[in-house]
Amino acid sequence: MGLFSRFFNKKNDEAATPAASHTEEFMTLIRVYYQSVIATQMGITNLNMLPDMALFKRMLKIPTQGGKLGVAEKARARKVLMQNYKLNEEFFKEVDRSIKKNCKTVQDINSYFYKFQGFNNDLFVLIEKMMNIRFRLSLLFNKLLYKMTSKTIHKILTRSEWTDISIQKAAWSIRKYQEALGYSEQWIIDFVYQVLLLAKKDNTGKRKS
């Protein structure tokens, strides 16, 4: 789960490396969107603080809108994510609300990314354990994958008793992160499903090559 553990903690040289897979491309765009929202809400003017957004801006030659970083970049990233990955408007509204809720000052940014990184690490490790992704992912049809993802996420967020104590602790940790970040169950399902779907696609491509 190294890819997920680095979700919001990539070094600048890594951000400048071309995406090697569909999953990494998606996550890079997600980081661009998050960084763009941060820029607009916090009034950040230093591009060095926003490595993924800066690279995205340069590659697509996106002009700064109204002299404010993040506005045009946010709109472009959202458009690409909606067109290429079928994410809906509510997905992005939840991201905006989450950042607005948690980032009142510039000092809050690192804390927010730390929480989100922890949320993703715990979530994907538990998802992999519960769904046995490494062995079964390539065998699933998309509709079945969505159904399994929805069922697993619902169980993680609502089940009160577990036979495996390690899973119970991980589930409780995820719920604490969810409450702090303010994401709905549907948002988590949509996000996780997209990542798993792309991981499945990458896995299929590796077998063919």
Give residue-wise pLDDT tens across range 110-124.
899 999 999 999 999
**pLDDT tens track for 136-194:** 665 668 888 899 999 999 999 999 889 999 999 999 999 999 999 999 999 999 999 99
Tokens (6 digits) for 4: 């997920």
CA angle (20, 22, 26) in 5-degree steps: 105
Distance CA 77, CA 74 (A): 5
- Cβ pair 4, 26 in contact under 8 A: no
3-state helix, strand, coil in the chain (%, to 5): 75, 0, 20
- CA 150 to chain CA centroid, Å, is 17
Instruction: Please state, for a pLDDT cut of 70, what percent of the chain lies above it.
Output: 84
Count of CA atoms in the C-beta half-sphere (13 A) of 189 = 18
- Cβ pair 47, 54 in contact under 8 A: yes
Q: Which DSSP symbol is given to 17?
A: S
The helix/strand/coil state of 65 is strand
**pLDDT tens track for 7-61:** 444 444 444 344 458 888 999 999 999 999 999 999 998 888 899 999 999 999 9
Match 């979530």 to its residue by tokens: 123
91 closest CA partner among 145, 151, 34: 34
